[in-house]
Amino acid sequence: MDNTLRNLVIRRPNPSDARGVYELIRDSQTLDLNSAYAYLVLCDYFRETCVIVEVGSRVVGFLSAFRSPLRPDTLFVWQVAVAGSHRKQGISKRMLTYLLTKTAGPPITYLEATISRSNLASTRLFTGLAKAHDVPIEVTTGYQTELFPMEIQHEEEPLYRIGPFTPQP
Ligand code: 9YT
């Protein structure tokens, strides 16, 4: 095992993490870079459903999610990012497991996320999660390219819906 994982800390974020999160997403080159302010709000108001992984003082992983206001038993996973230097070590799976097992409030019955076809890491993460928990996974239309500004030519983002998970005893 990579010895850096022994120094790995997985925790909820706080506003002081937002700069490191912004830089992680910027350097990932696979995700949509949101504003620095958006990451501040996520690390502050949405910290109960977000996860940080740090090695030493460096943010190497970030997962953002929130409960759907319309369906509180459903968690929408917004972004999952792992630094290039720390990929293929199970960090994204550990963040998702942390989210599923340590999120306060009503049990999480469904996970939803949109994943572009080029985001193979997240596709594998979510299909693997459904298989590991032996729960259904449904892929539907999600956000089509036409919903994004023409000039950015954004990939379509199919919607993945996983569940129902049975509540952990
Ligand atoms: C699960 C995940 O990382 N989805 C990414 C959605 C979108 N392309 C974004 O926010 O980067």
Q: What is the pLDDT of residues 81-90, one digit of tens each?
A: 999 999 999 9
Nearest CA to 60 out of 116, 15, 105, 7 is that of 7
pLDDT at 165 > cutoff 50: yes
Q: What residues flank ligand 1, with Cβ below 6 Å?
A: 31-32, 77-80, 113-116, 122, 157
Q: Read off the pLDDT band of 132 (50, 70, 90).
A: very high
Lowest mean pLDDT among 9-13, 22-26, 99-103: 99-103
| Residue 68: inside a domain | yes
Q: 120-133 and 91-102 helices cross at what angle (nearest 10)?
A: 50
Q: What is the pLDDT of residues 41-93, one digit of tens each?
A: 999 999 999 999 999 999 999 999 999 999 999 999 999 999 999 999 999 99
pTM of the model: 0.94
Index of the ligand 1 atom closest to the CA of residue 30: 11
Predicted pLDDT at 7 = 86
| Residue 70: inside a domain | yes
pLDDT at 1 > cutoff 70: no
Question: Half-sphere exposure (CA, 13 Å, Cβ side) for 151?
Answer: 0
| Average pLDDT for 9-30 | 96
| Residue 168: inside a domain | no
| Residue 24: inside a domain | yes
How many distinct structural domains can be found in the chain? Answer: 1
| Residue 169: inside a domain | no
User: In CATH, what number is assigned to the domain containing residue 63?
Assistant: 3.40.630.30
Sheet holding 137-143, edge to edge: 8-11, 51-55, 58-67, 74-82, 110-114, 157-162, 137-143
pLDDT at 2 > cutoff 70: no
Q: Read off the pLDDT band of 29 (50, 70, 90).
A: confident
Nearest CA to 71 out of 114, 111, 26 is that of 111
Pocket test for ligand 1, best of 32, 34, 124 (most atoms within 8 A of CB): 32
Helix (H, G, I), strand (E, B) or coil at 12: coil
> What is the spatial distance between Cα 131 and Cα 126, in angstroms, rounded to a whole number?
9
Q: How do the residues of the chain divide into helix, strand and coil, expressed in percent and rounded to 5?
A: 40, 25, 35
Q: Could you tell me the residue range of the domain that residue 96 belongs to? A: 3-162
What's the 100 CA to ligand 1 centre distance in angstroms? 18
| Residue 42: inside a domain | yes
